[in-house]
Structure formats: structure tokens, C-alpha cells
Structure 1
Amino acid sequence: MSEAQHLLTVLTAPGPQHFTPRFNERIPSETVQKGINDLKKRFGTPQNVWKSAEEGIWNVQAEKGQYQVLAQFGQGTQLSAFRVPTAGTTSTKARLTFLLLFLAPLLFSRGAIDVWFEPSRLGWLLNALPSLALGGTLLAVSAWSQSSIWFVPLFWLGMASLLMSVVRLPALPLGTFNLWDALFSAVLLAFLLPLMLKGIQGRQVPTALVPLGPVLSGGRFMVGQGGSTPTINYHVAHEHMRYAVDFIGLNASGRHAAGLLPTDPAKYAIYGADVLAPLSGEIVALRNDLPDLPIPQADSLRPAGNHVVLQATLPDGRAAQILLAHLKTGSVRVRVGQYVNQGDVLAQVGNSGNTSEPHLHLGVNVNAEPGDPFSGEGVPFSVEGRFPVRGMVFERQR
């Protein structure tokens, strides 16, 4: 069976026998099947496949249209790497999601005010407890870049206001128990408290951090995804990206961009910021020719986009690969085999690859295959002496 015939079979009815043992260890068969099912819903049954000019990328002709997949073969005709295009998010859906992020702060603000006007102790209890849980959850899990980091002090004032309102209780009557209000408060607490606890847990500093130097310059930057639990860092769910971090930028108003999810990457605060070598080492892989995509388009076949992979020796003697991804097209200024020193400018932040908006992806892997940024085991690290968690701010001017 030729590679093309094998790939067509995979796109029709995939099974573990079509992939290498290493691939099957890393990717559950259910994940592959789900991706194939989604493709069939969008494009229908695949009819023909052929290689594109780009290495590892195959064209697929299906009943309802044409698409591309990434397929790399190991021994024989078994696939060692396989990626399919995802549907992505529409601009309208993305904007609605961001607008919903403003509702929670408004609800909290209302609760922080209403407790001062509650006519009974039971009313105060059913208002204050969910409001405290909501405020604590937002402080524990939010990045604040969609609204503004300048709202954070106001939230702490709101939490203080909620706690201070306890002084009203001795003068209030007990009040009448309302079953529906009690059920509503109980449901909110059951939803919010686990989120808050997981957010707090994700901020605990792991042991044996790899010490990295500065990684960005040219502005103020915030950790969008970072920490040790999936609640505040979705990378944790993937062994090879565990503890990886996504940095976003902050403008003068404390937001990540000018406007509500603009499509132009240049309107995001981090776009064009200098990317620095966090350790001294050798450049072992890079890409520099992919376009910066308008938001919210993403390239799921080339997840790292333009990127640099730096190989360095850690203080404990282990070899590590450091991935810096989603770089600006044409901005990479190093070459494979070049030795760089900590702090050297490597490239600029862009919006290439599988990204929802311009940001810098930073990950440290050990036991990785040479030049492969999505292999091995992700390990925890510090940046400028701090374990990067969601909402943490770094600042460095050029």
C-alpha cells in the first residue's frame, strides 16, 4: 500500500494499526477519531489525496471541498505525525465570548454594593457568600487583559467592602428564608469554589525550576496561560507542553489590544516585541516563512508557526529544548547551528501558527527528539526569578 492509499484509509476509518507505537502513546485514538469525524461533517467523505509542495503537507479532495492535513510517515507506512485542520472560531463568536467576560465583573460589583442595603441577615448571607466566591474566583483565575489590569485594585476594594459589611449584621433582623434564593446561591458556590481552589492551587510554585532570563523586551507583558493546573494553564493537560507559558502584551490602558478583538495583529500590544534568548545555547530548528494571520484565524497544521528551538544545557547537566513560538513572519534573525547568548534578540512576536491572538509561547522540554518542539516532557521554569502564572506582569523596555 502506498503512502497516499494509507493516508486515504486513515481519513476514512482510522485505527491504532495505522500509527507508530510512539504516536499511539502520545495521542489517544479517540482524539484522532474525533478529528476525522469533524472533517467528514465539514467536507464529506475523502476521495483522493496527493502531496503538496510543502514537506509533510498533503492535499485532500473530499465530496464537499478540498483541505490539507499534516502526515509524516515513520517505518513502513505507519504515521509518526498526523494533524487535521480544525474549524476554528468565527469573529462573531469570539467577540461574544469576550463580551461575556465583562458580565462577571459587573455582577460582582453589584453584589459588593447590594450587601450594604440588604434588609436582613439571611438576605446578606445569600448575597455576600456568592459575591465573595465570585470575586475570589476572578482574582484567582482571570488574566484581566480583556478588561484591564487596572480593575484588579478595584476588585480588592470590592472584596474588602464585602467583608466590612459584616458590621451591619447585629442590627439586622433574621429575615425570611427564600428557597429559590438559597438554591441559586448554593449552585453558584458549588460552581465557583472548585474553580477558585484550582486557581489557587495552580499558583503554587513547583520544585526544581529551570532558571530562565528575560524572554521579552519592548513593553509590559502579562502571562495569559501559566501555572500548574489546567484551570489557569491549558498546556498542563499535554505532557510535552506541561508548564509552557503564553505571554500577551499590555497597552497603556492595561488591555491586550486596542478595541474589542481587532482582526489586525498590529493592534495587539505584544505584536513586534523583541524575543530574547532566555538561556545561552545552540539554535537547532526554526521557521520564518509563515504569514501572520488575522484574528481569529489559526493554522492548526503548523501549530508553532514561525518559531525558534534553542538547545541548552541546564544547571543540573540535562539537555533541554526551549521553544519560542508564534513569531512574526520574516523576523527571525538567527540560523540553525548558531550559538546565542542569553539576552540576544532572536526574533519578534507575531501571530503565526495555531494562535487565537498575537502572543509568545514559551516551553522548556527535556528528553525531546532533536529539533522537535512537541516531544519529550515539559518541565517547570522561572522567568527572571519568578514562576510565571496567569495574570503575572513583566516589564522590560528595549
Structure 2
Amino acid sequence: MIQQQRKLLPKISVTLLGIVTSSLISTSTYAPAHSQETTYPEAVTRAIDTQTQAEGPKVQSVSIDKRSYAPGEKVKVRVQIKSVHALTDVTVAFNNTTRVGVTSLAESATHITQQANDIWTAEIEIAIPDKIGDTSFEFSALVVDDSEGNGDTIAPQLNPTNIDVSGLAFKVQNVVDTATQSTLDKEAPNILAITTDKAVYQPGDTIQASVTIKDVSKLTEVSLGFVNDPDIGAAGISKFADMTKVTQQPDGHWIVPIALTIPLDSTAAAYKFSHVSAIDEYGNSIGIIDDKNEKSQFRDIRFVIKTSEAVQTDESLHNSQPTQSSKVQQSAVEQGKHVSKTPQLVTESMTKEGTSSKTKQLKMNNQQSVESDKEASKVPQQ
């Protein structure tokens, strides 16, 4: 059990950003889902407190081969451990200290060899992404396990250690290719448009949304969300895109389809655009939200969720073939809602006008009918 708990450490969880407080956040202020503070699962802290101290492996030293790397290079880590038993796992992790690129890098040893006096050497190679912006990393954790289930964990932020880890930090720096004069993409994605396939949905339906984004680099993450307007207490609807379905148009724009399923237990409500975010392969990111204080350019993207009873009522009204008078009144109501925030007053005015026009038309018809009867009465009876 202790060994299983300790092995959770490479899966470092990182503190998420809170609610974004700006409606348009550039690369310099908006971060992907991470910050500089690393947090660990509770099971890891328990493992540190309960791990075997007597016969367990002890880390002697940790080193890296360089202090600066280019994208695509490998960080070579060398760990020396003292252990009376064979080692089964040595895993090291580094935490991103900036808001560019992946949140962390972690890998397990590929070569573990035994030296004299129960000293073991583990060699670990961590690949840096081929496309990543200029950033830096620092040591965050090291986990060692032996064949008997004993282990040693080095995590400076959680537990004091005698191992010097101050030099275990490195930078990632992009080098301009002098032959092609290629430059690093430092521009955040530009979100151009957001669409939904319908204006009215029912619980259980799927919203087929689409986000159009301009970026010279490939996108790695896109999310979209909607909230109640006005808020009636129901949960919002949000989703991360399936990036395997993203396509690029001839003009270079990326089309990102996002399918958001409406929960079956949803109640009738109106929804509006809430947020959209995008990250490209260099770690450039953007987030746009819509709130009460500062509206976004996508504030008019809205839809309505109606229950099946409401839809049936609408269909029943539509199929009842209303009279000409009711059609006029219905049209006036719809127009009133569209043109004014106080549709009732406009509707009453337009309805009265429609009724007056109809009455006038009826009077004309009646008058023509009377005149026709008069003309007919002048014809001699045969």
C-alpha cells in the first residue's frame, strides 16, 4: 500500500487558476491550467510520513547534465541511491516555474545499475516538447522504490531533505534557425467566431458548437462554456474540445467543433455565452469570459432549453391555424419583443393598430356587400 501511495507522486497535481477576472486575457496575463505553486495528493504526504526508514533505499545525490536546453532536447538526470535490495522504480519530476508550456515534466529511469557497496545508479531522460515557448523548470520530486516495497521520497516543498537540490533547475530557450530565419511563435490564438447549430434545445440534446480560431501554430486545447441568463440556479454547460476533430481551412483558420450535451434533468432556461479559451503548441494562450462588468464580443450568443411539454405546446399552437386576427396579434407581439425592452407597451400599441386595421377592413367589406345587395335589388324580378 505504501508503495502504491508513493507512486502517485509523479502524477503531480498543480493548483488551478481561479475564475478569470478579465474578459480578454492576453498571453502575458492568462495562464494555462497551472500556476507556480505545486500541490501534492494527500496520499503522498502519508507515504512520506510512513515510509520505511530502516532498510529502505536512500537517495545519495541527484544531478542534471545541463542548465539550458532547446525544444526537443532531453534532460539527462543521474541519481545515486544506496539500497540493500534491488530497485524497481526511480521517477523524477520538474515543475514549470512560468506560465508557458506544459505544467510539469516527469519520467522514470530507463537504466538502473548496481555499483559497489550497495550503491545504485539510475539514469533518466526527460524529453522536452519539440514546440514550447521560452520557459524554465525546477526540481519538484523524486521517488524511489525497491523490490521489498520500501522507498525514499525527496520533495523539498513537503519534507526537509539533506540532498542539495538547489542546482536542479534549467531553462528552455528557443534558438533562431539562421538558415531559415524562423522565429518562435509568441502570439496568442485569436478567437474569431463562435456558433451554435440551433436556438432552441431540449434536455438530452447535443449542442453542436464551433469555434473559429486564427493561429500560425497547431492548437492543443480549446474549451467553451455557457451559463444561465438570468441565473436560476441550474448548472452551466461547458466542454473541452476533442482536438482530433480540429480542421484547418485554406486561409489558415482553425475550425474547432465542440459537442456539449445538455443534461436530461435540465429545466427550462435561457443560456448565454460564458467563456472560451485556447492554447497552442507553443503554450501561447488566451481566455475570454463574459461577465456583468465587462461584456465580451460574444455576448449575443444565446440559446434556450425548453422541456418537451413546452415544445409540444408550441407545436400545438403552431398547428392550430389561428384566424387572421390572431395572426396579426401574434405578429405584433413577436415584433414588440424584438424591438423593445418593454415589449408589453409596444405590443399593446401594435395590437391595437392591427385590430383597428382589421376592423376597418371588415367595415369596407360589409359596405361593399351592402352596396352589392342594393345593386342586385335594382334588377327586375323575372
Q: TM-score, length-normalised on structure 1?
A: 0.23
Determine which structure has more spread, i.e. the larger CA radius of gyration: 2
